[in-house]
Structure 1
Amino acid sequence: MERAESVIIVSVLLALVVITVQPILNLLAISLTEPANAPGMSGLAVIPDGLSFDIWTLLANHPAVQRGLINSFFITLTGTVLNVTCTALMAWALSRKNLPFRRTIFILVLVTIVFEPGIIPDYFVMRRLGLLDEYAAVIIFKMVNAWYLIILIRFFEEIPNELIEAAELDGANPFQIFWRVVLPLAKPALATITLFYVVYHWNDFLRPMIYFNDQDKWPLQVVLRQFVLVGDKAAIVGLEAMNNYTGASQIDFKSFRAGMILFTILPVLAIYPLILRYFTKGTMSGAVK
C-alpha cells in the first residue's frame, strides 16, 4: 500500500515537473534551431531542428538588449540591497518590545497593506519630486514591503533573548548585536525576502515603462515587452542590424522572440540554487548552549 502511494506521489510530481519545464525547453529549442526552420517548430518540440547560435549571438551583441541588461542589473542590485537593508533594520526595531509607539507604527504599516495607492497617485508624486526618467523612481518604490517586513518581525521575535543579553554582557552595542548576532541567525529569512525583492525588481516593467521616457534607461523587461507584445522590430531589434548580421535574412521573429524571453528569465533562474540552500538550514542550531 505504501509503495503504491509512493509511486502515485512520484508520478504526480514528475508530471508537474514536465508541465513546468516543457515551455522553457520549447523556447530553448526554438532559439537554438536554424532560423530558417524555426517557423515550423511546434509548441511541444524540445529538440532543436538544426543547431544554430545565431539568435543568441544577435541578442548578446544587440545594443538595446545590452543596455536593457545593464539597466536591469543596476536596478535589481541597487534596489534589493536598499530593500533588504531597510526592511531588516525596521523589522529589528519593531520586534523589540520596548520600542516607543511600537503598536502605533505597526498599525500604520498594516494600513499601507489595506489602502495601497494606485499607479496614478504614484506617478504624480514622482513627477512632483522630479524623479521621472530617474532610476530612483523605480528603486525607492516600496523600499520596505509591508508583507516582507512582517515576515522578518516574526522571525526576529523568535530569536532567544538569552543571545541578546549575552551579547550585551560582552559589551556589544546595539549595532554590533544586530550585525554579528541577529543577521547571521536570520539568514533563511533574509534569503527569502532577498529572493522576493530580486524577482520583483527584475520582472517589473509597468513602472519603468511609465516613468522612463528615455529608452536608454529601459530595463530588459520593457525591451522584451516592446518587442514581443508590440512587435516593434524597427525600434527594438533593429532591422538594419539584423540585415547586416550574418544570416540575418533568414532570422525569424518567432526564434528571436523565444531567445529574448529566455534571455530575460535565465538570470533569475540562476540565483535560485544559490539562495534556496539557506531554506533548509536550521536557524537556531547550536545557538543556545
Structure 2
Amino acid sequence: MSRPISYRRSASERFGSISKGILLIVVCSLVIVPFMGIVSTSLATPEQVVRSGGFVLFPEGIDLTAYRSIFVGGVVTRSLLVSVFVTGVGTALSLALTATLGWALARKGSFGNRQLLLLVLITLLFNPGLIPSYLVVQQLGLLNSLWALIIPTSVSAFNVIVVRAFFVGLPGEIIDAARIDGASEWQLFRYIGAPLSRAVLTVVGLFYGVGYWNSFFNALLYISDSSMWPLQLVLRTYVVDDAQLGAQDLGTRDEALPPQTSIQMAILVTAIIPILLVYPFLQRHFAKGMLTGAVKG
C-alpha cells in the first residue's frame, strides 16, 4: 500500500523560497531605483532639483522644461535623427548581409563554402585591432561619413553562425521538393529560408539594432564633425565628460535653461526609451530565436 504524498514544505524549503524572493527584490531594486531617479530628475521642477542636490527620486510635480529645451532644436535633436538613420539603415543592411551569408554557408558543397566559413570563424576569434580598422576606413574614404558608423560593423560573425545553424537545421525534404519544382537558389532563400527564419532574424535584428543605437566609439574615432554625432556620443560628451549645454546647443532663446542635471537626465531618458519601446514587440520571438540550433531531434 503506497504512502500518501505530503505537500507540506519543510522549513528549509520555505527559507530557500523566502531567500530567493528577498534576493529578487534586492536585484530588481538595484535596477529600478536608479532608472526611477533618472526619469524623476528629468521631470522634476528646477527648484526641487537644485534643492535635492541633483538627484530626485519622487518629483513633487511634472516639469517638461528639460525635454522642451533639448527638442526645440540644436545638437540633441540633430544627433537623435542621426542615431535613428544609422540604426534603421544599419540594421536593415546587417540583416540582409547576415541572412544571405548564413544561407550561403549552410549550403554544403557550394563553391568556396569551407574557405568562407573559415574566414568567418577567424574574424570571430581574432580582432583586427584599432589602428588597422581606422586605416581601412580612411582608405575607403569613409571618414566624417555616416557610413563609417554602419559599414565597419555591418556583419557580426557570431550572428552569422547563429543564422547558419538555423538554416542547417531546416528539413532537407523541403529544399529537395522545391528544387524538383524548379526553384532557383534565390527562390529557395526568398520563399523558404527567409519566412521560416523570422524568429531568429528578429533576435539577430534586435542585437544589431541595440548595437547600432548604443554605439559611440566608432563615431568618436571616425567623425570629427559634431553635427554628425549620434545621440550616444552627445550623451557621453554632456553626461560622462560633464560638458555644459548652452542656449545655442539647445535651440532655446526665450526661457531660462533648466539645471544642467535635468538636461543630462532628459538626454539619458531619450537614449533609453526607444529600446524599451521596441523590445516588448520582439519579446515573443526572443526565446525561440535564442534556442535555435540548441536542440536537435
Distance in 1 of aligned mates of 2:249 and 2:31: 37
1:196 corresponds to which residue? 207
**Contact in 1 for aligned 2:49/2:56 (Cα 8 Å):** no
Which of these residues, 141, 161, 175, is aligned with residue 130 of structure 1?
A: 141
Comparing 207-216 and 77-86, the one that deviates more: 207-216
**TM-score, structure 1 as length reference:** 0.88
Match for residue 273 of structure 2?
Answer: 266
Alignment correspondent of 2:159: 148
Which residue of the other structure, out of 86, 95, 103, is the alignment partner of 1:75? Answer: 86
Which of 273, 276, 283 is 2:283 aligned to? Answer: 276
> What is the DSSP-based 3-state SS (H/G/I as helix, E as strand, rest coil) of the residue aligned with 2:141?
coil
Deviation at 1:199, TM superposition (A): 0.9
Partner of 1:98: 109
Q: TM-score under structure 2 normalisation? A: 0.86
Structure 1: distance between partners of 2:21 and 2:54: 26
Map 1:131-280 → 2, pairs under 5 A: 131-233=142-244, 236-238=245-247, 244-248=253-257, 251-280=258-287
Distance in 2 between the 1:263 and 1:33 partners?
A: 16
1:211-243 CA-partner distances (Å, limit 9, x unpaired): 11211111111111111123332xx44368587
TM-fit CA distance, 1:29: 0.5
3-state SS of 1:97 partner: coil
Compare CA radii of gyration and give the structure with the larger one: 2
State the percentage of identical aligned residues: 32
Amino acid at match of 2:234: V
Distance 1:76 1:240, change over 3 A: closer
Aligned residue number for residue 287 of structure 1: none
What is the number of equivalent residue pairs in this alignment? 280
Partners of 2:195 and 2:32 in 1: CA distance: 34
Q: What amino acid sits opposite 1:266 in the alignment?
A: I
1:140-179, Cα deviation, whole Å (9 max, x unpaired): 0132111111111111111111221232233332222212
Distance in structure 2 (CA, Å) of the matches to 1:243 and 1:149: 46
Indicate if the aligned counterparts of 1:205 and 1:221 stay in contact, CA closer than 8 A: yes
Give the gaps of 5 or more residues in structure 1. 285-289
Q: Distance in 2 between matches of 1:44 and 1:231?
A: 15
